[in-house]
Amino acid sequence: MTRRESQSCEAGPDTCSGASEETRIPRPRGLARRWQRRAGVSRTAMLVALGVAVGFGAPLAASAAERGTVAGIVRFDGPAPTRAPLPVYKHAEVCGASVPDDRLVVGPGGGLRFAVVTIEGVRNGSRPERDAVHTLDNRQCRFEPHVQVAEVGQWLEISNSDPILHNADARVGTETLFNLGLPPGRRVRRPLARSGRIAITCDVRHTWMSAFVVVTDHPYHTITDAYGAYEIRDVPPGRYTLSVWHEELGTREAPVTVEAGGTATVDVAFPAKEGRP
- Structure confidence at residue 82 (pLDDT): 86
pLDDT in tens, 159-206: 999 999 999 999 999 999 999 999 999 999 999 999 999 999 999 999
Q: What value does the mean pLDDT of the chain take?
A: 84
Domain around 13: 3-56
Verify that 96 and 155 share a domain, yes or no.
Answer: yes
154: in domain:
yes
For residue 224, pLDDT beyond 80 = yes
Write the pLDDT tens digit of every residue in 112-154.
999 999 999 998 889 888 889 999 999 999 999 999 999 999 9
Residues 151 and 263 in one domain: yes
> Residue 92: what residue type?
A
- Residue 9: the pLDDT is 43
Statement to judge: residues 156 and 134 lie in one domain: yes
The confidence score (pLDDT) of residue 10 equals 43
Instruction: Identify the band that residue 23 occupies on the pLDDT scale cut at 50, 70 and 90.
Output: very low
What pLDDT score was predicted for residue 207?
95
- Which amino acid is residue 53, in one-letter code? A
User: For 42, which DSSP code?
Assistant: H
Rounded CA-CA distance 133/258 in Å is 30
* Whole-number pLDDT of residue 94: 95
198 or 63: which carries more pLDDT confidence? Answer: 198
Instruction: Tell me the mean pLDDT in the region 68-77.
Output: 97
Sequence-separated (6 or more) residues with CB below 8 Å from residue 46: none
Which distant-in-sequence residues (6+ apart) come within 8 Å of 249 by Cβ?
76, 104, 112, 115, 270, 273
Residue 276 lies in a domain: no
Instruction: Please compute, for residue 13, the number of CA atoms within 13 A of its CA located in the half-sphere on the CB side.
Output: 0
What radius of gyration, in Å, describes the C-alpha atoms of the chain? 33
- pLDDT class of 272 with cuts at 50, 70, 90: confident
Helix (H, G, I), strand (E, B) or coil at 43: helix
Higher pLDDT, residue 41 or 119: 119
Q: pLDDT tier at 36 (50, 70, 90 boundaries)?
A: low
Instruction: Annotate 44-105 with DSSP letters as a single string.
Output: HHHHHHHHHHHHHSSPPPPPGGG-EEEEEEEEEESSPP--PPEEP-S-HHHH-SEE---SS-
- Do 10 and 103 fall into the same domain? no
107/51 same-domain check: no
Q: Are residues 77 and 49 in the same domain?
A: no
What is the pTM assigned to this prediction? Answer: 0.76
Same domain, 8 and 142: no
pLDDT > 90 in the chain, percent: 69
Q: What is the pLDDT of residues 76-98, one digit of tens each?
A: 999 988 889 999 999 999 999 99
Best CA proximity match to 163, nearest among 186, 196, 191: 186
Q: Which residue has better confidence, 73 or 17?
A: 73
238 pLDDT tier (thresholds 50, 70, 90): very high
Is 272 or 31 the better-scoring residue by pLDDT? 272
% of residues, the chain, pLDDT over 70: 75
Whether residues 237 and 104 share a domain: the answer is yes
Q: Judge if 25 and 127 occupy the same domain.
A: no
In this prediction, residue 215 has a pLDDT band, given cuts at 50, 70 and 90, of very high
Residue 97 belongs to a domain: yes
Whether residue 170 lies inside any domain: the answer is yes
Residue 3 in this model has a pLDDT that exceeds 50: no
The domain tally of the chain equals: 2
Residue 258 scores a pLDDT above 50: yes
The three-state DSSP-derived secondary structure of 219-262 is CCEEECCCCCEEEEEEECCEEEEEEEEECCCEEEEEEEEECCCC
Asked, for residue 235, whether it belongs to a domain, the answer is yes
**In this structure, is residue 277 part of a structural domain?**
no
